[in-house]
Amino acid sequence: MADHLEFGKKGEEIAVEYLKKKGYKILETNWRFGKNEIDIVAKDSAGKYIVVVEVKSRHSNYGGEPETAVTRDKQRALIRAANAYLRTRNLQDEIRFDIIAILITKEGEKINHIEDAFYPTL
């Protein structure tokens, strides 16, 4: 596997563990619908939302914070995938879109969990 793919996978694993510690129930990882992918699908700790999580990992924030990589096009793709997920699972739950930005450096890991990062009205 290419180094950048392994690094991205490591970031997703860190995000899964972080969410579990916060009481989230992980429903899916790397769920695909066509060419769209959801990194993590989870149920929030209160059981109120299906949470679609986009994970962005970086070695530094030199080019900007990791979450800035979630462009409008990426948001639209996540919304399409989330709608497909709800349809294929026959779910009526409320949905929320979060971003987990992870900086992995020699000094350690810094996690920024942005709840309600964007809304499906785009």
Neighbours of 106 (CB within 10 A): 5
Q: 54: helix, coil or strand?
A: strand
Neighbours of 70 (CB within 10 A): 19
pLDDT by position in tens, the chain (length 122): 555 557 668 889 999 999 999 999 999 999 999 999 999 999 999 989 999 999 998 876 666 677 878 889 999 999 999 999 999 999 989 999 999 999 888 888 899 999 999 988 75
DSSP annotation of 24? P
pTM of the model: 0.89
> Cα 57 to the chain's mean position, in Å?
11
Torsion region of 23: left, alpha or beta (phi above 0 gives left; psi -120 to 50 gives alpha): left
Report pLDDT for 80.
94
Q: Measure Cα distances from 6 to 11, 19, 52 in Å.
A: 9, 20, 21
31 half-sphere exposure, CB direction, 13 A CA radius: 24
Q: The domain that contains 44 carries what CATH number? A: 3.40.1350.10
Domain that holds residue 105: 3-118
**Number of domains present in the structure of the chain:** 1
